[in-house]
Amino acid sequence: MGNDVKKCICGRSPTATCIGWHKLSHAEWQVKKLILEAETHAEKVAEEYSKLMEQKNWLR
């Protein structure tokens, strides 16, 4: 029983582990990367908005 998680050696993975992005063309990789960056940014914005709304409700 070994660990099936492989380290990313291509440098394309947003994590330290291989997620198969080495198989993508350059254009496909760029699209995946942009989508991931947009989703990550949207999550951060949503978290910040939620915190601001909590503060606003607390101040009432």
pLDDT tens track for 9-49: 999 999 999 999 999 999 999 999 999 999 999 999 999 99
Angle 46-21-16 from CA coordinates, rounded to 5°: 70
How many residues can be counted in the chain?
Answer: 60
User: What pLDDT, on the 0 to 100 scale, is given for residue 59?
Assistant: 65
Q: What is the dihedral of CA 36, 42, 47, 51, to 10 degrees?
A: 160
User: What pLDDT, on the 0 to 100 scale, is given for residue 56?
Assistant: 77
What's the longest Cα–Cα distance across the chain?
57
pTM: 0.74
DSSP 8-state symbol, 23: G
